[in-house]
């Protein structure tokens, strides 16, 4: 394996905002993202394919260990596949709610009104299933490991969720456990593992969300001067 090759380095394209612009842009971005909510009531209104492509390209611009970009984004619009995913997800979720979750966990979920039924998996026009790539199989059969895979894919998912909100759409981070059925339904290779399932679409006209409140800045940050 050739380890001597190096990237060509190019000048960094910095926007070079002034302090006033920085403050304005950072406040605007916060104001926009602070309105993001997890939505479970979706419209079946269609979305242009190009919008979804832009969302995925944004996610794939995230940093990754050694620039290995260890992710695959599977975009599902097929009603048949969405139905199969819903049925398999609800089977696992039913088991979780009935037998796997602790009483404390169920009590914490109760105010949010969630249960094992996931109709949004069929209603939303798109499902984006994010897979992490544990390794790459090279032409000579060598398994080339990827690095900081969970961290890298987690960052990409954060980019994706922010991009979905910025586009005026909604999503929900869905992680039925276990998620191996996604590999089977979508026929993914052995080097990929399901990481996150995101329904993407417009909110239903009557969509509602819990009136939750986020922790204050002082509760989530610590300054060292």
Q: Are 131 and 74 in contact (CB under 8 A)?
A: yes
pTM of the model: 0.94
Q: Are 156 and 64 in contact (CB under 8 A)?
A: yes
- CA 143 to chain CA centroid, Å, is 26
CA dihedral of residues 74, 80, 86, 91 (deg, nearest 10):
-120
* Tens-binned pLDDT, residue by residue, of the chain (225 aa): 455 678 899 999 888 899 999 999 999 999 999 999 999 999 999 999 999 999 999 999 999 999 999 999 999 999 999 999 999 999 999 999 999 999 999 999 999 999 999 999 999 999 999 999 999 999 888 999 999 999 999 999 999 999 999 999 999 999 988 999 999 999 999 999 999 999 999 999 999 999 999 999 999 999 999
Residues with Cβ within 8 Å of 126's Cβ and at least 6 positions away in sequence, in order, are 47, 52, 75, 76, 77, 199, 200, 201
Q: Are 42 and 203 in contact (CB under 8 A)?
A: yes
Domains of the chain, each with CATH number or no CATH: 38-205 (3.40.109.10)
CA dihedral of residues 176, 180, 185, 188 (deg, nearest 10):
130
């Amino acid at each position: 394996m050739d380890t001597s090759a190096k990237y060509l380095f190019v000048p960094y394209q910095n926007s070079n905002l002034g302090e006033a612009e920085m403050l304005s842009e950072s406040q605007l971005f916060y104001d926009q993202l602070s309105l993001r909510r997890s939505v479970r009531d979706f419209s079946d209104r269609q979305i242009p394919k190009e919008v979804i492509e832009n969302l995925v390209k944004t996610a794939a611009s995230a940093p990754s260990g050694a620039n290995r970009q260890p992710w695959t984004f599977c975009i599902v619009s097929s009603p048949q596949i969405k139905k199969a995913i819903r049925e398999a997800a609800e089977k696992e979720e039913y088991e979780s709610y009935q037998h796997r979750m602790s009483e404390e966990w169920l009590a914490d979920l109760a105010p949010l009104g969630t249960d094992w039924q996931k109709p949004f998996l069929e209603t939303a026009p798109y499902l984006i299933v994010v897979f992490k790539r544990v390794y790459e199989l090279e032409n000579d059969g060598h398994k080339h490991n990827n690095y900081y895979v969970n961290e890298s894919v987690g960052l990409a998912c954060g980019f994706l969720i922010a991009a979905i909100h910025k586009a005026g759409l909604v999503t929900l981070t869905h992680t039925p456990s276990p998620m191996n059925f996604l590999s089977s339904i979508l026929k993914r290779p052995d080097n990929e593992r399901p990481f996150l399932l995101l329904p993407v679409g417009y909110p239903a006209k009557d969509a509602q969300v819990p009136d939750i409140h986020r922790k204050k800045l002082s509760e989530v940050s610590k300054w060292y001067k």
